[in-house]
Chain A
Amino acid sequence: DAKTTQPTSMDCAEGRAANLPCNHSTISGNEYVYWYRQIHSQGPQYIIHGLKNNETNEMASLIITEDRKSSTLILPHATLRDTAVYYCIVRVTGGYQKVTFGIGTKLQVIP
């Protein structure tokens, strides 16, 4: 899996968009960008993933730069329940589950 770099922590005002960046400059052509989040004392929860096109689902949007060396997870209207650690993971699809989680970004949503 390619190495990823994320800020250690970020704050966001409730109701505003939260933009979480991730650098993955060594990403290979067949590697996807996945985002997970982990709310305190719970297991990681899948959010979204993409290869090179921008993706959107009911939880978030994923913007991947054209050179694919970085991406941004966007939570359009952050709520207090979005306070969590967000992990950016780069890997190929399928394969056995030796997933590499980094330290992630601790997002604090402020009232």
Chain B
Amino acid sequence: DAGVTQSPTHLIKTRGQHVTLRCSPISGHKSVSWYQQVLGQGPQFIFQYYEKEERGRGNFPDRFSARQFPNYSSELNVNALLLGDSALYLCASSLDPGTDLNGYTFGSGTRLTVV
């Protein structure tokens, strides 16, 4: 079985642009969460989605948005990019929001560089 897949693996954007990151969960997993990991820091929670609905949101500005599709894949969108948005963006999938932490599987992430 394929693990959590994220695309693209790397990309470079210019300040002020918009970016869309994609995540496909493990087959059978219906919940997807997004994390931002700035260099030298641990991952920080951005969103959780389950059954196409937002179930949790971290302390991020409204420039960050996400959605989940009927096939449970997800997109993370960031508008008006700032240099500080440069980070590794991680997606984690689980069966549902109540899954214990050990049931989470993370993807390898998308490395976003804003110049």
Contacts and interface: CB of A to CB of B under 8 A. Distances in A.
A97 B107 contact: no
A102 B88 CA distance: 16
Contacts of A68: none
Contact of A93 (B31, B44, B100): B100
Contacts, number: 70
Contact of B101 (A41, A49, A85, A103): A49
Interface in A92-109: 93-104
Contact of B100 (A44, A87, A94, A100): A94
Given A44-B90, A46-B102, A97 B48 contact: yes
* Chain B interface residue number, banded: 20 to 34
A29 interface: no
7 contacts: A41-B111, A43-B107, A94-B99, A95-B98, A98-B45, A98-B58, A99-B45
Interface stretch (B12-20, B35-43, B77-85): B35-43
Interface of A: 32, 34, 41-46, 49, 85, 87, 89, 91, 93-104
B94 A49 contact: no
B101 A34 contact: yes
Given A43-B90, A43-B109, 10 more contacts: A43-B4, A43-B91, A44-B43, A45-B106, A46-B104, A95-B97, A96-B97, A96-B98, A97-B97, A101-B43
B73 interface: no
Interface of B: 4, 31, 33, 35, 40-45, 48, 55-56, 58, 88, 90-92, 94, 97-102, 104, 106-109, 111
A43 B55 contact: no
B28 to A, nearest CB: 17
